Amino acid sequence: MEKERKKSSRGIVLFLTALILLAGLLAFHMLIGRGMEKQIEKLPEGILLKLAEPLEAGEITKAETAGYEIENIEEGSGSVSVYTVRKTNEKPLHVNQVSDFTWNVFGRQIEGESLNLSSHRTMASQAVYLSWLIALLPMSVILLIVGIRKLGALQEKRWRQGVEGVLMIGAWLVVIYFLTGKLEIPREFLPPEQILDIRFYVDGIRGFFADDRWTDLELYQTLRACYNQEVEIYGAWVICGWIGTLIFWIAAGVESRNQKKRERRRQYG
């Protein structure tokens, strides 16, 4: 009888440990989330243009009349000119070809390069939801597998386990739907053909951090520093979540095996 109490108390301790770990991760995430929100608010919006020729005063006036805000930040090196372009009605700007964009806005084609600051700001603000998805991935896979196994008990008319399986799968679907519904990733950061094109994401991330076309610009450095900070902070949080999941999974597996041994002993005395 005393052994049974100890084993029961061990399960309660395991459950309380998991709750404390989850509460700690949630509190930690809320604290770092507030700090990152303030950091993201400092990021600029609009389009960053690096043009081979400077804009004339009349061209800037024409664009401003059409509802654009033009600012010459004069940070470029060599003969290039750098501008930030924003839409006064906060409508998002998209640039496919810089020459076509300059023709539509300024009335002449100018060769150059562009960087969508607004899209990067939006992307940086999605890190909180992406970190949740990544952190919960191992736990969600375990929950889904266990739920499917329990769901199979319905065929054997073990209704209690079957209902538990339905609830587990339902909880998994609700969490995934909630987190993915919060994501608003700009189209330019998604693969053109299939969403699971891993090479596209790897090349995009590596290209952004290895790109030397914008390194002399303070705006670019600010943006990259924000990304680096998010990777460090949210990466540490995700690793903590994975480690906690692993510990809980191992402990739960050990407890499950012990329970099966106890049941066998009862059956065979």
Integer CA distances (angstroms), 147 to 144, 155, 166, 251, in order:
5, 14, 7, 19
Indicate the average pLDDT of the chain: 77
Q: Average pLDDT in the 248-264 region?
A: 69
Residue type, 263: E
Integer CA distances (angstroms), 67 to 70, 128, 260, in order:
10, 33, 71
Q: Please say if the pLDDT value at position 256 is more than 80.
A: no
Q: What are the E-state strand segments in the chain?
A: 47-51, 68-72, 81-87, 112-116
What are the φ and ψ backbone dihedral angles of 91, each rounded to 5 degrees? -70, 130
Q: Tell me the per-residue pLDDT of 108-147, one tens digit each, with 9 for 90 and over.
A: 888 888 888 888 888 888 888 888 888 888 888 877 777 7
Q: Tell me the per-residue pLDDT of 147-161, one tens digit each, with 9 for 90 and over.
A: 777 777 777 777 777
Q: Tell me the per-residue pLDDT of 45-83, one tens digit each, with 9 for 90 and over.
A: 888 888 888 888 888 888 888 888 888 886 545 556 888
Helices 57-65, 98-106: axis angle to 10 degrees equals: 80
For the question of whether the overall pTM of this predicted structure is more than 0.75, the answer is no
Residues 6+ away with beta carbon under 8 Å from 122: 184, 185, 186
Pairing of strands 68-72, 81-87: antiparallel
- pLDDT for 13 equals 63
Tell me the two tokens of residue 23. Answer: 């509460």
The sign one gets for the Cα dihedral 39, 44, 45, 48 is: negative
Both ends of the chain: CA-CA distance in Å? 15
Quick check: helix, strand or coil at residue 50? strand
Instruction: Answer with the residue of higher pLDDT: 9 or 100.
Output: 100
Instruction: Answer with the residue of higher pLDDT: 21 or 238.
Output: 238
Structural Rg of the chain based on CA atoms: 27
Quick check: helix, strand or coil at residue 14? helix
